[in-house]
Amino acid sequence: MTGPLPRRLICRNMGDDYTPQEVSKLQAAGEIQLIDVREHHEHEAGRIAGDRLIVLSDLSAEAHTIDQGRPVVFYCRSGARSAMATQAFSEAGFDAHNMAGGLLAWDVAGLPLEPDGGYVDVG
């Protein structure tokens, strides 16, 4: 194999990304811990019901509050910040996953946002 490694090989130690539809089903079944790593104002604008907000900059300090025995899915607006969280937690031994496309993809898929009238804060 020549040239740069494909992304799927670079991230092999990370859990697979989940689609918003998969996250919705897993969350409804109580099978995951769902963590929003966005800022407070983004979370207040619109979020997934039943999630937990831990701002990315606070995540390492709050790691001890996350159950290492249960899968964890991170999300953000577009999937970039949550991908960083997923990689760090995977490397620390967590069964960590990223929600592909973030809350933007969740919204495009027509999945519900909380509160009523919630929206994805695009800055």
- pLDDT (tens digit per residue) in 48-107: 999 999 999 999 999 999 999 999 999 999 999 999 999 999 999 999 999 999 999 999
For 81, the token pair is 């910040």
pLDDT tens digits, 10-45:
333 456 899 999 999 999 999 999 999 999 999 999
Tell me the average pLDDT across 2-6.
43
What's the confidence (pLDDT) of residue 15?
63
- The fold for domain 13-108 equals Oxidized Rhodanese; domain 1 (3.40.250)
pTM of the model: 0.87
Q: Where are the beta strands (DSSP E) in 1-123?
A: 33-36, 52-53, 72-75, 96-98
Neighbours of 118 (CB within 10 A): 18
Q: Where along the chain do its domains lie?
A: 13-108
